[in-house]
Amino acid sequence: MRRKTYRVVLRREERQELRKLTHTGRARAREILRANILLKADEDPEGERKGDLAIATELKVSLGTVASTRQRYVTGGLELALHDRPRSGQPPRLSPRGEAKLVAMACSKPPEGRVRWTLELLQDRLVELKVVEHIGKETVRQALKKGGLSLGSTSSGASRR
């Protein structure tokens, strides 16, 4: 049997914290799962030791999940093992001020010769007013939905005259 590269040896306080986390059920499911992995992987001399395959089978996770949780604990400690690092993500295209302008525009009278606003018209108007440099229809649709508006219904605030 291959020797484990990352051996989990929990301190008594960490073990207590993990047990409390798993028994209260007040944490995210992913954190509870990782806590269970660490508890089962703990090489405590008085407790029962389990291999990665046994842990993965018992908790219904992949071997990679068990291995990466072990690695994160050994290299970064308990906090890093339980919680995900913040992800950078794409910054929002529309600022809150831009969203407010969009909603106000959608609730206003449509352009001359139009019965109502369309996503394309709103998209073009936002670029024309230099609220954004460029924006997609889906971003406009999501912002309207977030603001409680829908261009397709009569109760949305968009006029149908």
pTM score of the predicted model = 0.56
Neighbours of 147 (CB within 10 A): 17
Q: Report the distance separating Cα 97 and Cα 134, nearest Å.
A: 16
Per-residue pLDDT tens digits of the chain, which is 161 residues long: 455 578 898 999 999 999 999 999 888 999 999 999 999 998 766 666 678 999 999 999 999 999 999 999 999 999 999 998 888 888 888 999 999 999 999 999 999 999 999 999 999 999 999 999 999 999 999 999 988 887 765 554 555 55
33 assigned to some structural domain: yes
61 assigned to some structural domain: yes
* 104 and 139 share one domain: yes
Q: Report the distance separating Cα 34 and Cα 58, nearest Å.
A: 13
* 76 and 108 share one domain: no
2 assigned to some structural domain: no
Looking at residue 2, the DSSP 8-state letter turns out to be P
| Kind plus residue range of the DSSP H or E element containing 131 | none
Domain around 135: 96-156
129 assigned to some structural domain: yes
* 46 and 77 share one domain: yes
41 assigned to some structural domain: yes
CB-based contact 89:97 (threshold 8 Å)? no
pLDDT of residue 89: 85
pLDDT of residue 25: 80
Number of domains composing the chain: 2
Q: Report the distance separating Cα 52 and Cα 75, nearest Å.
A: 18
Looking at residue 151, the DSSP 8-state letter turns out to be T
Q: How far is CA 109 from CA 81, 94, 116, 129, 146, in A?
A: 54, 22, 8, 16, 21
At 97, which amino acid appears?
Answer: R
pLDDT of residue 49: 67
128 assigned to some structural domain: yes
1 assigned to some structural domain: no
* 21 and 66 share one domain: yes
* 118 and 70 share one domain: no
